[in-house]
Structure 1
Amino acid sequence: MFSVGIITASDKGAQGQRVDESGKVIQDILSEKGYIVIRYVVLPDDYEQLSREMIYMADTLKANLILTTGGTGFSERDITPEATKSVIEREVPGVAEAIRAYSLAFTPRAMLSRGVCGIRGKTVILNLPGSPKAVKESLEYVMDSIQHGLEILLGKTAECARQ
């Protein structure tokens, strides 16, 4: 199956002042789907650390998928999308747009999410919201399409047409 790296962006989580529930939700959902979690880290909202970790997971560990949670809002320290944009080679805007559109059914504040999605080499990188509930809803909505995208990216299938 596919390998995944999980990054939680949280100053308080990195300092041990908050339990990382969102990263655990990601881990649980993907493990149930047969993905292999090869690395899971909690980092502060720091541009250099986040971008360096994404590069490490993609280039050295060869993760097929990197999922981040947190750091996508309006706070001055929320810089996960900027760190992601600095490491991706190709954007996949439809995934982040789909998450926002779907999430609007639950809360109008979904429009404030700045999460992005893109590709670095053979790795898909996706920013998820910070709340466990939003992570669960978002992943359940996009994972089938993400998996199909991974199959295409890795040459396991070439067709995108509906059957």
Structure 2
Amino acid sequence: MKWKVAILTASDKGSRGEREDTSAQVIRELVEDEINGEIVDYRIVPDEMDEIMAALIEMSDYHRADLILTTGGTGLSPRDMTPEATLKVIDRQAPGFPEAMRLASIQVNPRAMLSRGAAGLRGNTLIINLPGSPKGVLESLRVIIDQLPHALQVLTGRMGDHDA
């Protein structure tokens, strides 16, 4: 089963072309290799609440992505607004994803407790915030990647909650 996946990078420097977006490359490779994902949209926006929200809405409502993975904007900096933007556009939270990622990541790097990533549902789209660094993306996505196909099957109605 092919999943429609969108990748959104929140980065001031990346949006100005001052930094290569290696975190999105890690997401792309894992999604294509591990869950048979097809990237239907990819963009870099500055760390601005309105721009992040607009991109998430467009990716969900117009591109009909099954899954949106964000990278960047989840730290403690005053410019890090990705979780807040995500929480403003979702209908329901899915806290297990960020909880699992933080729990596993803290074992490797105690600073992972500073990550504020969120996750939730907008219609039939699952949105998950990942850290901004390629290493953080890899560690976090590896923790949850096995659960994504089942979550997406349930969310999109391709499987009931208790089918297995």
1:18 aligns with 2:13: no
- TM-score w.r.t. length of structure 1: 0.96
**In structure 2, what is the equivalent of residue 92 of structure 1?**
94
**In structure 2, what is the equivalent of residue 60 of structure 1?**
62
**In structure 2, what is the equivalent of residue 137 of structure 1?**
139
**In structure 1, what is the equivalent of residue 112 of structure 2?**
110
- Could you list the per-position Cα deviations for residues 79-129 of structure 1 after superposition, in whole angstroms to 9, with x for gaps in the alignment? 000000000000001111000001011111111000000000000000000
| Letter in structure 2 aligned against 1:8 | T
Unaligned runs of 5+ in 1: none
Q: CA deviation at 1:73?
A: 0.3
Percentage of matched positions with identical amino acids: 47
- Could you list the per-position Cα deviations for residues 56-80 of structure 1 after superposition, in whole angstroms to 9, with x for gaps in the alignment? 0000110000000000000010000
**In structure 2, what is the equivalent of residue 121 of structure 1?**
123
User: Once superposed, which parts of structure 1, at least 4 consecutive aligned residues long, lie more than 4 Å away?
Assistant: none
Q: Distance in 1 between matches of 2:69 and 2:76?
A: 20
Q: What is the root-mean-square deviation in Å for CA atoms of aligned residues? A: 1.1
Q: Distance in 2 between matches of 1:50 and 1:160?
A: 34
**In structure 1, what is the equivalent of residue 33 of structure 2?**
32
Q: CA deviation at 1:159?
A: 4.3
| Letter in structure 2 aligned against 1:156 | R
| Letter in structure 2 aligned against 1:17 | E
Q: Distance in 1 between matches of 2:129 and 2:162?
A: 23
Q: Distance in 1 between matches of 2:159 and 2:139?
A: 27
